Structure 1
């Protein structure tokens, strides 16, 4: 096909206009205002004529640049029809010399282990491509490429629309004695805020991955990244500004990205701060609180006054124990890859993650298997000493220890130091029989691969 005719075909088949109402900025672009290569790639999804598709691919291949790799991969990932996908794969293999077939994870791993190479208009490509899935996705990317703290090519669609995994907002809570659907060995995520004690069963939260509520008069969001095994509780008010959070539908290194409803900025789940969008660089980082992963039997024994999620969530799901993500949790395989994995532990080995706000560059991971055999474990980060207590159900809690050494964690849940002083263990602090207080240090459990991918320099105790 003549090149001028091909260009005209592309121009007529594809135009992209984003109105101010759809974005946080006044930004309108048409197909002749952006890099024509962007139009070429996107037209592959809108043109059904195989001869035209081949002509476009031939032109792309003839003018190949490394910046094309991520776009070709993403088009290949979403393309319908074996014929087009095979043609795309052929170009990819010839230009890269790699033979990963249709294994998207292998292709992403190959790209992510090189310096990022993207076109100046890649954000437009990414916005339009993903707007085919959900128009709300446009705003995540338009004109935000320069306001990103993470690699744009590592932001990967997780398979759902915005809030496609619906958060539980102000969910119904019931008393412990009303929760007849729970057995004592069922896993729950326990929190306590200003004396307001609550349990969120894994069997329910795995279907929703987030709850927002006011607990102990504090607005919070509990975020469960099922893929990387983390449940983190954030205070959603920062310097007087309330942020209403949701599930973006996108991942970064297999860790879900949140979004805020007002600006549609993308937020890191592990750090509680915006990483793409207008809130980047504003000094925003949500304060997080401790979450303990434990059994329902142990939690309600410690906290008979606890509230717990009702099955009346407003959604129809099979909330049976172990049903959600059953196949994923049953193996060590990843659903979405990361740039590389560290073989010091199995991918989904459970670790206790500790990240101190005052020392963000010194994260610590402690193997839960190690803690099982060391139920009282002392350590420190940059001189801040702490003790990790592990219950019989493998629930991990972290407290300041200062210069106190503990030697016994009794069946009744009391702690005894080397001087024989008895300490009461609560969700907020350790309190000695003399009235001394040692505060709780926020921590949470995670899968090793997800934590290590986010913090490659993490220290590991195993």
Structure 2
């Protein structure tokens, strides 16, 4: 089981880390685990990468996703969050109640290979194109974390990738970056109303998980993040939600605004991007029953062209860890 799934038992988790030596993980140990990754190629300090507990693919990605129509998805609650993705005119929903236990879905939408990803410890829901330099990559979970964020790997080269940035950080594809596809977290009720004929990810038939339940109860109300060793942001609580708006072509951050600020005003503009907030969506990381989580609302971001823009709804500590040069508007 992922240590993050037992984050509340912090003392137990840290004892396990010390007993197994996972906190001091290094390339020699990883090679002994069976990794074929070329760790001589890397773009980050490898000592920043620690184990989250499970082995390679211990959190199983979904490689053959099964879908039902919105009308058939009768197991979802009105306020629970789903990732809404539109590619080539085709729209699909990926419930966080499923991604919570799998973190990656390798899918193809309108002929475009995509990786739909979610890191619960960072509340980072990001969709990438899986094609890079003419090759289609399939992604799995390493069981490792960096800055408390999921480290993925591609099965073709076993290079390691940072989920929050979509960048190769170790292995043959170090320095490569995956293209991000605009997506957003919306409530199931809003999605079903707007897209009644759309496909909705259904639980895999060959796996049994407590879908619909949040294994990280009260995580987003905690004082500090789990398994994070970096600097904390100043002037804002580390677990406060923030909106990271990214430029369309470069994927570089344009602005970082606290959700509280956006929620108070309802909308604002930054660098030609318009951010809006409306109520109706529950936090997936609050109560045991995901659909009953506290109100966090739905954020939408449009670019200068009026089209949906790439953005993340994450925690302040994550935004600071990966973009320390950026100011977070509180």
Partner of 2:39: 144
Deviation at 1:167, TM superposition (A): 0.7
How far, CA to CA, are the matches of 2:31 and 2:128 in structure 1?
29
In angstroms, what is the RMSD of aligned CA positions? 2.6
How far, CA to CA, are the matches of 1:260 and 1:156 in structure 2?
18
How far, CA to CA, are the matches of 2:119 and 2:164 in structure 1?
9
For residues 77-97 of structure 1, give each alpha carbon's deviation from its aligned partner in whole angstroms, at most 9, with x where no partner exists: 4546xxxx9xxxxxxxxxxxx
Specify the SS of the correspondent of 1:197. Answer: strand
Contact 2:101–2:209, Cα closer than 8 Å, also in 1: yes
The structure carrying a bigger strand percent of its residues is 2
Greater relative contact order (Cα < 8 A, sep 6+): 2
Deviation at 1:363, TM superposition (A): 4.5
Partner of 1:391: 278
- TM-score with structure 1 length normalisation? 0.60
- TM-score with structure 2 length normalisation? 0.83
Deviation at 1:342, TM superposition (A): 1.1
Deviation at 1:329, TM superposition (A): 3.9
Deviation at 1:174, TM superposition (A): 0.5
The structure carrying a bigger helix percent of its residues is 1
Partner of 1:127: 27
Specify the SS of the correspondent of 1:200. Answer: strand
5+ residue gaps in structure 1?
Answer: 1-73, 86-103, 109-124, 402-436
How far, CA to CA, are the matches of 1:176 and 1:360 in structure 2?
31
- Computing the radius of gyration over CA atoms, which structure comes out larger, 1 or 2? 1
Contact 1:167–1:246, Cα closer than 8 Å, also in 2: yes
Deviation at 1:443, TM superposition (A): 1.2
Q: How does 1:236-385 map to 2 (within 5 A)?
A: 236-281=130-175, 284-320=176-212, 322-356=213-247, 362-380=253-271, 385=272
Contact 1:188–1:201, Cα closer than 8 Å, also in 2: yes
How far, CA to CA, are the matches of 2:184 and 2:311 in structure 1?
8
For residues 220-258 of structure 1, give each alpha carbon's deviation from its aligned partner in whole angstroms, at most 9, with x where no partner exists: 001111111101000101232111111111111111111
1:161 equivalenced with 2:55 (yes/no): yes
Distance 1:239 1:293, change over 3 A: same
**Number of residue pairs aligned between Structure 1 and Structure 2:** 301
Contact 1:363–1:455, Cα closer than 8 Å, also in 2: no
Specify the SS of the correspondent of 1:150. Answer: coil
Deviation at 1:207, TM superposition (A): 0.7
Point out 4+ residue stretches in structure 1 off by more than 6 angstroms.
none
